[in-house]
Chain A
Amino acid sequence: GAGVSQSPSNKVTEKGKDVELRCDPISGHTALYWYRQSLGQGLEFLIYFQGNSAPDKSGLPSDRFSAERTGGSVSTLTIQRTQQEDSAVYLCASSVNRGRNYGYTFGSGTRLTVV
């Protein structure tokens, strides 16, 4: 597609349940990023994938969070045993490469609400 696609666009889940958020980056973009935006807050870096290199997971807030990127394309962010503080908009972005001289293209995000 022409842009970064994220699904679902909205997700309401009960506390303690697991959720999976999906990101389809722009074809040919080797770098993929996950960010989180809580209500009224700035964006918070979560994880970065670049080609076949080991991902930078330093932004993941706890071990309940994990992410995969299969085949260098689609990525899935998984949150286990969700908590209310996990409620936020989860944004995925991709770029041609590490992003040295390029802007990132963001998806519209998944709005996660934990009740």
Chain B
Amino acid sequence: DAKTTQPPSMDCAEGRAANLPCNHSTISGNEYVYWYRQIHSQGPQYIIHGLKNNETNEMASLIITEDRKSSTLILPHATLRDTAVYYCIVRPYSGGSNYKLTFGKGTLLTVNP
């Protein structure tokens, strides 16, 4: 399985964009990049996923580099409620045990007032 590297923690001012990086230099061609977050005392929450094109939804944007070895999750206007641990995960499109999500330690994003 491809592994991901994320900074252990980041700070962001409320109302500003939060840019969370993730390195996945050994990603395979059939692997997607997924982002989840976990707010304290809650289960993980799916945010977004992508293969090679940039993606945007109501929660965030995902920017994947052309070589697919890294990506950035962007929260355009961070709020205090966005304080959470953010996990970057790679998993195969299909086959084998692609349902086994491998969560690393993630990035603790703290949004400050």
Determine the interface band of chain B, counting residues with CB < 8 A from chain A.
20 to 34
User: B104's closest neighbor in chain A, by CB?
Assistant: A42
Give the interface SS of chain B, mostly helix, strand, loop or mixed.
loop
Residue pair A42, B105 in contact (C-beta under 8 Å)? yes
- Given known A42-B104, A42-B105, A100-B93, contact A48–B44 (CB-CB < 8 A): no
B81 / chain A contacts, CB cutoff of 8 Å: none
Q: Which of B11-19, B21-29, B70-78, B94-102 contacts A (4 or more CB under 8 A)?
A: B94-102
Residue pair B99, A98 in contact (C-beta under 8 Å)? yes
Q: Which of A68-76, A78-86, A104-112 contacts B (4 or more CB under 8 A)?
A: A104-112
Determine the interface band of chain A, counting residues with CB < 8 A from chain B.
20 to 34
Residue pair B46, A43 in contact (C-beta under 8 Å)? no
Distance in Å: Cβ of A1 to nearest Cβ of chain B = 14
User: A102's closest neighbor in chain B, by CB?
Assistant: B46
- Given known A31-B99, A43-B103, contact A100–B46 (CB-CB < 8 A): no
The answer for the CA separation of A101 and B42 in the assembled complex, in Å, is 23
Distance in Å: Cβ of A53 to nearest Cβ of chain B = 12
The answer for the CA separation of A105 and B105 in the assembled complex, in Å, is 19
> Which of B98, B99, B100, B101 is most buried by chain A, counting CB atoms within 10 A of its CB?
B99
Distance in Å: Cβ of A22 to nearest Cβ of chain B = 15
Does B65 belong to the interface (CB within 8 Å)?
Answer: no
- Given known A100-B93, A103-B49, contact A45–B100 (CB-CB < 8 A): yes
Shortest 6 CB-CB distances between A and B: which pairs?
A: A103-B46, A106-B43, A43-B103, A42-B103, A45-B100, A106-B44
User: Could you show 7 A-B contacts with beta carbons less than 8 Å apart?
Assistant: A42-B102, A43-B44, A45-B101, A45-B102, A100-B98, A108-B43, A109-B42
| Interfacial residues, chain B to chain A (CB-CB below 8 A) | 32, 34, 36, 41-47, 49, 93-94, 97-106
